Amino acid sequence: MNDFVFHIPTKMVFGKDCLSKLNTEMKPFGSKILIVYGGGSVIRTGLLAKIKDLLKDDFEVFEHGGIEPNPKIASIRSGAAKCKESCIDIVLAVGGGSVIDASKAIAAGACVDFDPWEFYGGPRRMIEKALPLFTVVTMASTGSEMTCGAVISNDETCEKLGRGGFPVFPKASFLDPELTYSVPAFQTACGAADILSHVMESYFKKDLDFCLLDRMMEGVMKTVVANAKIALAEPENYEARGNLLWAASWAINGLFGGGSRQVWSCHPIEHELSARYNMTHGLGLAVITPKWMRYCMEADPETRSRFREFGRNVFGSADEEEAVEDLEKFLYGDLGLVTTLKGAGIENIDAEDMAASICSKGSINGYLVLDNKAVQKILKACI
C-alpha cells in the first residue's frame, strides 16, 4: 500500500433543500458574486432566476454566461477580466463540469496578471491563489464539484489540458438531484459513461493490495449501471438521479486512487478527441474504453484476471471476454451511445498524428504502458 494524504476541503451540501444554505455559506467570503453558467439550460429551467432571487438581498450579482461544453480559454480570459474590472469577491458556478472547470480557471485567472492559459500550456504556472469558488451542480458527470482540477481547451493550439491546484477546490458544492431532472437522455448517458470511466481508471491498476477500495469501486460501478438505466427510463426518479450525482462526486475525488501514482489510460486519448473534434467527453470514453480493454488483454494476457474480476463483480460476467461484452451492452445498449467515431460523425481521423500528440511527452504510463503504436492501434479500433 502506498502512503497518501486524503484532504478535501469542499463542504458538500446535498438534497432538495440545499440551495436554502447558499447565502449562509457564501456570506463570509464577500458581497460581489460572479455567476458563471453555460449555454442557457439554467435560463430555460428557471434555475438562474431562482438563484438570483435568493442572492439579491445579500449580494451584488454579476453574470458570465455562455460557457461552452469543453470550455474554451477565450471564455476564461473574458471571465477573469470581468472579475478584475468589477472587483468580484466570489465565483459561483451553476452548471455541469464545463461550467465548473471554467469557473475554477476564472477564479484563478482573476488573481494573476498573466494569461490564464499559462496555467495550462507553455510555462504551466502553478495555481497559487484563486477567488473563493462555490458550485451548484446541474449534471451528474465529471465530479469537478469535489476536485481541484479543471480541463480547458485552446482552439488556437488545438490542445485540451488539465490543471489543478488546492486554491480552486470549491469552498462548498450544492447538489440537488432535482436540478438534474432536465438533463437530456444523451447527456445523462454520457455523464454515466464518464463516472464509470473515472472509477475504471483507478480500478485497473498494478498494485492489488487495497481490497477495501476495490470493493468500494465495484459498489460505485454497480450503482452507476443500475441507476443510469432508471434515470433514462424515468428522468424524474429522485433516487436514481441522487445516486448518480453522489457517485459522480466520489468517483474522482481521489478516494479510489489510494496513493497510486499510476496515470489514467482512456482519458488522455479522449481529451485529444474532444480537443480536435469537440467530441462530448463521456461519449468519447464510451467509444474508447472497450477497445482499450481488448487491446490490453491481447497485448498482455496477465491483465485478463483483473478484467475477469471487474466483469464478475460489476456485471456478473462469466469471464473476461464476457466482461467486455457486458460493458458494451451497457454503454451501447442501455445507454444508447454509439460504438465508433464514425457513429459520432467523426470521419477519417489521423491516428498517427493524434498518437504523436498524445504521446508527445512520452508513453501513457497507465495500467498497461501505452506507447505511440499502442495508442494508434486503440484509435484505429475506434474508427
Is position 194 an interface residue for Zn ion (rule: CB under 5 A)? yes
Q: With residue 76 as reference, give the H or E element that holds it.
A: helix 73-85
Residues 262 and 251: their CA atoms lie apart, in Å, by: 16
- Residue 235 beta carbon to ligand NZQ: minimum distance, rounded to whole angstroms: 10
Chain residues 244-263 in contact with ligand NZQ, contact rule CB under 6 A: 252
Is position 10 an interface residue for ligand NZQ (rule: CB under 6 A)? no
Chain residues 136-175 in contact with ligand NZQ, contact rule CB under 6 A: 138-139, 141-142, 144, 147, 149-151
Backbone CA torsion sign across 363, 275, 95, 122: positive
**Unique residue bearing C-alpha cell 488539465:** 162
Which member of 97, 109, 132, 167 binds ligand NZQ (CB under 6 A)?
97
Pick the closest to residue 170 from 137, 121, 125, 126 (CA basis). 137
- Residue 106 beta carbon to ligand NZQ: minimum distance, rounded to whole angstroms: 14
Q: Which does 279 bind (CB under 5 to 8 A by kind): Zn ion, ligand NZQ, none?
A: none
Is position 276 an interface residue for ligand NZQ (rule: CB under 6 A)? no
Which member of 127, 168, 179, 378 binds ligand NZQ (CB under 6 A)?
179
- The answer to whether the CB of 64 falls within 8 A of the CB of 78 is yes
Pick the closest to residue 233 from 189, 190, 284 (CA basis). 189
Residue 141 DSSP class:
S
> Segment contacting ligand NZQ (CB under 6 A): 97-105, 166-174, 253-261, 311-319?
97-105
With a CB cutoff of 8 Å and minimum separation 6, the contacts of 98 are 38, 67, 68, 69, 70, 71
Residue 329 DSSP class:
I
Is position 201 an interface residue for Zn ion (rule: CB under 5 A)? no
> Segment contacting ligand NZQ (CB under 6 A): 40-48, 50-58, 314-322, 358-366?
40-48
Residues 77 and 109: their CA atoms lie apart, in Å, by: 7
Q: Which residues bind ligand NZQ (CB under 6 A)?
A: 38-42, 45, 69-70, 95-99, 101, 138-139, 141-142, 144, 147, 149-151, 179-180, 182-183, 187, 191, 194, 252, 267, 274, 281-282
